[in-house]
């Protein structure tokens, strides 16, 4: 898919990886829908950057753990743009917790945002893609291998992997659905700097990735017309060790 004149939406698009994805889509020619929840200052700054590229930008605020907020958000998108062509589920949380300290509230908070929200966002996005489109989920290598320090996050991202494959089957051939599974790109909250350095030094490439690496993977999946149901790992070779 060529992005010139198309509309792309990114949840969690205000900062970090989501910001890099949104700006990459804008540079490629797409008008963009920038979702955020709490990061208002970052959202306004990212909107200004995308507008400076000559793109239309719709800024939408929503708590994606609330299905009614998701419905309202997509109603606003529908009022602004006639169709959606690309949707990226990037919003997520990641909390380090020992298994024996996880509460039901912890579980619900993570699963609601990391897994339930991508499902309902994809459902609504697909309804705005009558002529076809692309949905991309940002998974995590923690969904492909167990991360005992982040148990609920790891389970939620494993769900995103299966969600991607289910949606790819269910929405084909009209809509392609893929996922990117980032590795060490941004230091997880709660992880000491020296431990983070040790993690990156064990990797074959001996360095952490950048948000732009994930954005490039998203652009590839947008443009790769014969790819669906794929989980693209972008981890500097960390899965090899």
pLDDT digits (tens, 9 = 90+) for 4-21: 999 999 999 999 999 999
- Please, which contacts does 200-205 make with residues 24 or more away whose CB atoms are closer than 8 Å? 200/236, 202/238, 202/241, 203/235, 203/236, 203/237, 203/238, 203/241, 204/236, 204/237, 204/238, 204/240, 204/241, 205/236, 205/237
Q: Could you read off the pLDDT of 57-92 as tens digits, one per residue?
A: 999 999 999 999 999 999 999 999 999 999 999 999
Q: Which of 36, 157, 187, 206 is catalytic?
A: 157
pLDDT at 238: 87
Phi and psi torsions of 33, nearest 5° = -110, 120
pLDDT at 189: 66
* Catalytic residue check, 6: no
| Residue 33 parent element (H or E) | strand 31-36
Q: What are the sequence ranges of the domains in the chain?
A: 7-240
* Sheet of 7-10, strand order: 57-61, 31-36, 7-10, 86-89, 133-138, 175-182, 231-234
8 A C-beta contact, residue 94 and residue 153:
yes
On the question of pLDDT at 137 being above 90, the answer is: yes
pLDDT, the chain, mean:
96
Phi and psi torsions of 129, nearest 5° = -120, 55
Q: Which of 150, 187, 206, 220 is catalytic?
A: 150
Pick 145 or 192 by higher pLDDT: 145
| DSSP collapsed to 3 states, 80-146 | HCCCCCEEEECCCCCCCCCHHHCCHHHHHHHHHHHHHHHHHHHHHHHHCCCCCEEEEEECCHHHCCC
How many helices (H) and strands (E) the chain has is answered by: 8, 7
DSSP character at residue 224: -
SS3 category, 232: strand
User: Which CATH architecture describes the domain 7-240?
Assistant: 3-Layer(aba) Sandwich (3.40)
pLDDT at 20: 98
CA distances from 109 to 67, 92, 114, 203 (A): 13, 10, 9, 31
Task: Please state, in angstroms and rounded to a whole number, the distance separating the CA atoms of residues 186 and 208.
Answer: 7
Tokens of 102: 């996880």
8 A C-beta contact, residue 150 and residue 188:
yes
* Catalytic residue check, 36: no
């Amino acid at each position: 898919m060529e992005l010139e004149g198309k509309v792309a939406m990114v949840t969690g698009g205000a900062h970090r990886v989501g910001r890099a994805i949104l700006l990459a889509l804008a540079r490629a020619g797409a008008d963009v829908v920038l979702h955020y929840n709490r990061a208002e200052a970052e959202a306004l700054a990212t909107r200004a950057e995308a507008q400076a590229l000559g793109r239309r930008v719709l800024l939408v605020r929503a708590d994606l753990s609330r299905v009614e907020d998701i419905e309202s958000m997509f109603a606003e998108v529908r009022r602004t743009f006639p169709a959606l062509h690309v949707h990226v589920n990037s919003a997520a949380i990641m909390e380090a917790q020992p298994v024996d300290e996880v509460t039901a509230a912890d579980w619900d908070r993570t699963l609601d945002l990391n897994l339930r929200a991508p499902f309902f966002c994809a459902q609504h996005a697909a309804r705005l893609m009558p002529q076809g489109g692309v949905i991309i989920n940002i998974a995590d290598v923690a969904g492909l291998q167990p991360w005992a320090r982040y148990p609920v996050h790891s389970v939620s991202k494993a769900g995103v992997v299966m969600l991607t494959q289910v949606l790819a089957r269910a929405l084909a051939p009209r809509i392609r659905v893929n996922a990117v599974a980032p590795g060490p790109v941004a230091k997880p909250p709660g992880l000491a700097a020296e431990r983070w350095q040790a993690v990156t030094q064990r990797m074959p490439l001996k360095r952490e990735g950048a948000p732009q690496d994930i954005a490039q993977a998203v652009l590839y999946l947008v443009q790769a017309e014969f790819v669906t149901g794929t989980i693209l790992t972008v981890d500097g070779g960390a899965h090899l060790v």
